[in-house]
Structure 1
Amino acid sequence: MSGDVTSNDVSDDVLEVNFDGLVGPTHNYAGLAHGNVASMRHGGLASNPREAALQGLAKMKSLMDAGYAQGVLPPQQRPDLGALRALGFSGSNGEVLTKAATEAPQILRAVCSASSMWTANAATVTPSVDAPDGRVHITPANLQSSFHRYLEPDTTGRVLQAIFRDERHFAHHPVLPATPAFSDEGAANHTRLAAEHGDSGVHLYVYGRQAFGGERAPRRYPARQTREASQAVARQHGLSESQTVFAQQHPDAIDAGVFHNDVIAVGNGPVLLYHEMAFLDEQATLDELRRKMATPLIPVRVPVEAIPLEDVVSTYLFNSQLLTNPDGSMTLVVPGECQEHERVWRVIQDLLLAGYNPISDVVVKDVKQSMRNGGGPACLRLRVALNATERRSLGARVLLDEALHADLTQWVERHYRDRLTPEDLADPQLVDETLAALDDLTRRLGIGNVYPFQR
């Protein structure tokens, strides 16, 4: 796909481009994310970085082949030796890794995390059609709720500025203060609803808690997004009260392992597919959306009797991609775990596909390497609605086509290991391998020197 208008153009020249994160060479199961049940359950297992990266590329290519606009985002520099040195580990690269592995193995695992593959957490994006200045607005998430993700925003900001570099079309905002009061997890807690991608939309921001007083909070697992952070991002982007809805995620869902809203709800166009336990005040959320949307909201509700919360978490049904087709119908891209679960698969067939809604097709994708670390198809992509001029102004080779897919596949097969255990993270050779891989990648993407070791 060249990045110009395609058969999937649903409103004038505006396309929603799904920017998927390339899985990094240090993809491993460290069990770092407290509250992410899948991540904690698989901590310590051997991973396959090559298979994970190829699974991600296969998903991207299949969607590209189906006519959807698909982009890629590069991974972070890992291991993050700068973070280790800032924490007092000194010496050569090998010495730093050895000391960290001996004295603080969990810190070593954190600085080797490949979590940037889940680009739904990279940033929050407002398309130009909604912004008062007619530009696309981008705020990288501070991800301050966990150390391994807190390391990402600086590089993420440089990557996004390198890709969306034309100031006539793109506006970049600083990350919010990295404090608990402004804990921001990006687009994983943000959904834009509109008749079509090129129409003005309403932005649904879902938060887990209020920093300064507020409603119920979860008791077992942390609420990662604050209302204050969501409001600040909306202000940065110039959105008005009539364009925004702020809703609290149900605390019981968070305590069941629903750490982001995109694990229990997904929206596309005028459709909001959600679980009964997604919002603390379901009716008030729907009423406000209906009041502010210019087109009728199409809610698709899955009751808890049909799918208990534990099945929501184990299958990631709602962490699926919901994509618009040229005829206005929608395709739901689900992880293979949904098909393997009899009750969830039956709900997909009997409630979603047979229901009175635009969802007409389901596509199953194998993303097990990502699922075991707690991320499904929706975690793997950042949605950016762009018109033709904005697509042509992108400052790097990041819109997927046959040539780029072949190039990236060859890059993965050349640089990635097929097995990685937590103990392997102390291997000094892994540093050399990953830096060589990332240096090669920046040349292939034409993205410039975005990594610390290149600066």
Structure 2
Amino acid sequence: MSAADISSVREVNFDGLVGPTHNYSGLAVGNVASMSHGGLVSNPKEGALQGLLKMKSLMDAGYAQGVLPPQQRPDIGALRDLGFSGSNSDVLARAAKEAPQLLRAVCSASSMWTANAGTMTPSMDVPDSRVHFTPANLQSSFHRYLEPQTTGRVLQAIFRDEQHFAHHPVLPATPAFSDEGAANHTRLCGEYGEPGVHLFVYGRQAFGDVRSGEREPTRFPARQTLEASQAVARQHGLTQEQTVFAQQHPDAIDAGVFHNDVIAVGNGPVLLYHEMAFLDEEGTLNELRAKMASPLIPVRVPLEAVSMEDAVASYLFNSQLLSNPDGTMTLVVPGECQEREAVWNTIQNHLLAGNNPISEVIVKDVKQSMRNGGGPACLRLRVVLKDAERAALTGRVLLTDTLYDDLTAWVNRHYRDRLAPDDLADPKLAEESLTALDELTQLLKIGSVYPFQLG
């Protein structure tokens, strides 16, 4: 690529819209925030508006911003597959009485965290010069296992042009190939248009002999397998010289770091990480340095500065790290970072005052998402695109002032401002959700992607 072509490549953050059934069910084992807030009353309208406001503010600051729709919830079809029968009202009522945990699962709005939607590889890194996508199977939890089919349809509807985009099948939904998407994947590079090195982080190995020195967590499950990460890399045509596979520190997983993006975030040449992010910290950094064309800029936060408890509670590392044209970087953190003195001091005295490109910190209120265990980084899927690839997108999914206004009005028309766990059995909620989603697909111009639209 020429210098002009390289400079035209941009990262687009595709944020997931918070769905109409956003609720606090405490479904995610190993996610401390999700488990601790289970049973509380949620505010779907506030959650969706908080997410949209974050998108709008980043768009206004000059960052490319996209939108992904939520899933169809409640997933009554899943309940029918599990033996509940009768009318939709009958199915919901029986599930609420006989298996309330299943009802909560099929109402989950967890697809808002599009960092888990899948893994993408930009066109400049692969032999066929197309952008590659693999939806994550999310098999480690039932409520997220329900997502991949619709996720795949949504991605194929938006990234439809086969000249520019390639889509791969979901990995087998078995423990051996447990895949949690881009929450465990980071592309590191100089400029976006330059070749990148892909850091895949896994929690356990399913087959063969465990690598020397490796061990697994004992309190919470490791969700990502080495085999899943390797399979995605093969699907996308990535070579050994382009990939680094590192084990997440098992003690971090046991402390509530269920995905790597809760303990590390990277962008461009910068890797911001906690001392406890990787089991083999030195080996991971050395392999990245050896394979990257541009110098790696590691920004290490020591345990003595930020405890594991503070890291998990504040989601400091689940922040968005955004590249600026002048070579500096902006860190978008949740408001909870200000509530922890050690974290806020680290941001001011270690990150902003340190010898690294991070020059600005923006604080955003995403409390509705945070209480379910997802910060700013969880809410977005990063897609690196050339000009021609952005022009080839289908639908109305790149945020503009007009689209922001339309989506805000849509949320205000259709969303409730209060949702308790008992409300999930209300058949009117299901009807409201379908009406809203049908209108949303027309608003975004992405066609029919939901089961109820496909017949």
TM range (shorter): over 0.9
Q: Which residue of 1 aligns with 2:24?
A: 29
Alpha-carbon separation, structure 2, partners of 1:167 and 1:119? 22
**CA-CA distance at 1:199 after TM superposition:** 0.9
TM-score (structure 2 length as normaliser): 0.98
SS at match of 1:20: strand
TM-score (structure 1 length as normaliser): 0.98
Pairs within 5 Å for 1:353-372: 353-372=352-371
Q: Which residue of 2 aligns with 1:20?
A: 15
Whether the 8 Å contact between 2:198 and 2:243 is mirrored in structure 1 is yes
Equivalent of 1:60 in 33, 55, 60: 55
**CA-CA distance at 1:209 after TM superposition:** 0.2
Which structure 2 segments of 5+ residues have no match?
none
> Is 1:201 matched with 2:196?
yes
Alpha-carbon separation, structure 2, partners of 1:388 and 1:353? 32
Q: Which residue of 2 aligns with 1:385?
A: 384
Look up the equivalent residue of 1:33 and give its one-letter code. A
Look up the equivalent residue of 2:275 and give its one-letter code. E
**CA-CA distance at 1:12 after TM superposition:** 2.0
Q: Which residue of 2 aligns with 1:251?
A: 250
SS at match of 1:145: coil
**CA-CA distance at 1:196 after TM superposition:** 1.3
Q: Aligned Cα RMSD in Å?
A: 0.8
Q: Which residue of 1 aligns with 2:308?
A: 309
Pairs within 5 Å for 1:36-435: 36-212=31-207, 213-214=209-210, 215-435=214-434
Alpha-carbon separation, structure 2, partners of 1:72 and 1:419? 24
Look up the equivalent residue of 1:387 and give its one-letter code. K
Q: How many residues align?
A: 447
Alpha-carbon separation, structure 2, partners of 1:95 and 1:297? 57
Alpha-carbon separation, structure 1, partners of 2:286 and 2:342? 30
SS at match of 1:129: helix
Alpha-carbon separation, structure 1, partners of 2:231 and 2:241? 16
Whether the 8 Å contact between 1:10 and 1:197 is mirrored in structure 2 is no
Q: Which residue of 2 aligns with 1:5?
A: none
Which structure 1 segments of 5+ residues have no match?
1-8
Alpha-carbon separation, structure 1, partners of 2:7 and 2:33? 41
Deviations 1:174-233 (A, max 9, x none): 000000000000000000000011111000000000001412000000000000000000
Whether the 8 Å contact between 1:124 and 1:186 is mirrored in structure 2 is yes
Look up the equivalent residue of 1:413 and give its one-letter code. N
Whether the 8 Å contact between 1:10 and 1:196 is mirrored in structure 2 is no
**CA-CA distance at 1:339 after TM superposition:** 1.1
Look up the equivalent residue of 1:439 and give its one-letter code. D
Alpha-carbon separation, structure 2, partners of 1:436 and 1:363? 35
Alpha-carbon separation, structure 2, partners of 1:81 and 1:412? 22
Look up the equivalent residue of 1:30 and give its one-letter code. S
SS at match of 2:15: strand
Whether the 8 Å contact between 1:144 and 1:178 is mirrored in structure 2 is yes
Look up the equivalent residue of 1:409 and give its one-letter code. T
